[in-house]
Structure 1
Amino acid sequence: MADLPIHTIVFEILTRLPAKDVGRSKSVCKQWYALLSTQDFVRIHCTRSLVSSNQRVLLIDDLTCSVHSIISKSNDYGPSSIVTFPFHHQNNDVSILSHLNGLLCVCLNHTYELLLWNPTTTAFKRLSTTDSHGFYINNLDAIGLYVDADDDYKVLHIKRRSGVLGVYVYSREVDSWRNIPFITRQEYLSPHFNWSAGTFCGGTLYFTVCECWLGGAKRVICFDVNSEHFKEISFPPVPSIGKVQGVLVNVKNVLHMFASTGMFEMTIDLWTLQGDYWIKVLSCPPIPPISLSLWCDITHFVTNGNWFVMTKLGKLFTIEMDMKPFECFYPVSWFRGFKGAVFVQTIVSPSI
Structure 2
Amino acid sequence: MSDLPRDVLVSILSRLPAKSLGQFKSVSKYWFSLISSADFVKSHHLRAISDTNNNHSRAFIMSTPSMHSVNFESPSCYEGTEDDPKAIVSLKDPLTKDSVGERLFGSCYGLIYFVCFNECILLWNPTTQKTRLIPDPSASFSGATPFYGLGYDVSTDDYKMVRASRSVSGQSIRSEVFNLKTGSWRTIHASQIDIDESDEIGIFSNGTIHWLIRHVGGSERRDTILTFDIKKEIFGDISLPNREHEETGFTWLGDLRGCLYAVCGGDGADVDVWVMKEYGVENSWSKMIKLNWVEFRCDYVMLPVCFTLKDEVVIDLDNSWNLVRYNLSEKTIKYFKKCSTDGHDWVMYTETLVSPLATCNK
Aligned length: 329
Letter in 1 for 2:349: F
Letter in 2 for 1:230: F
Q: Which one of 206, 211, 219 corresponds to residue 202 of structure 1?
A: 206
Gaps of 5+ in 1: 325-336
Corresponding residue for residue 316 of structure 1 = 323
Contact map agreement 1:96 1:104 (CA 8 A) in 2: no
Q: Residues of 2 paired with 1:5 and 1:322: CA distance?
A: 47
Q: How does 1:24-173 map to 2 (within 5 A)?
A: 24-50=23-49, 53-62=55-64, 64-71=66-73, 76=78, 79-88=87-96, 93-95=101-103, 97-109=105-117, 111-129=118-136, 131=138, 140-148=145-153, 149-159=155-165, 166-173=174-181
CA deviations 1:235-279 (Å, max 9, x no partner) are 110246433024322233232223338x75425142325333143
Q: Residues of 2 paired with 1:136 and 1:199: CA distance?
A: 24
Alpha-carbon offset, residue 119 of structure 1: 0.9
Identity of aligned residues (%): 22
Q: Residues of 1 paired with 2:76 and 2:242: CA distance?
A: 33
Counterpart secondary structure, 2:14: helix
Query: 1:130 and 1:172, CA in 2 relative to 1: closer, same or farther beyond 3 A?
Result: closer
Corresponding residue for residue 332 of structure 1 = none
Gaps of 5+ in 2: 332-342
CA deviations 1:301-344 (Å, max 9, x no partner) are 346665321243432135664599xxxxxxxxxxxx95332222
Q: Residues of 2 paired with 1:267 and 1:88: CA distance?
A: 37
Contact map agreement 1:202 1:253 (CA 8 A) in 2: yes
TM-score, length of structure 2 as denominator length: 0.76
TM-score, length of structure 1 as denominator length: 0.78
Q: Residues of 1 paired with 2:228 and 2:308: CA distance?
A: 29
Corresponding residue for residue 243 of structure 1 = 248
Alpha-carbon offset, residue 36 of structure 1: 1.9
Counterpart secondary structure, 1:20: helix
Contact map agreement 2:176 2:185 (CA 8 A) in 1: yes
Contact map agreement 1:65 1:84 (CA 8 A) in 2: yes
Corresponding residue for residue 259 of structure 2 = 254
Corresponding residue for residue 234 of structure 1 = 239
Q: Which one of 310, 313, 324 corresponds to residue 307 of structure 1?
A: 313
Contact map agreement 1:247 1:298 (CA 8 A) in 2: no
Contact map agreement 1:209 1:219 (CA 8 A) in 2: yes
Contact map agreement 2:63 2:344 (CA 8 A) in 1: no
Corresponding residue for residue 185 of structure 2 = 177
- Which shifted more, 281-290 or 85-94? 85-94
Query: 1:41 and 1:213, CA in 2 relative to 1: closer, same or farther beyond 3 A?
Result: farther
Letter in 1 for 2:108: L
Query: 1:47 and 1:6, CA in 2 relative to 1: closer, same or farther beyond 3 A?
Result: same
Alpha-carbon offset, residue 347 of structure 1: 0.9
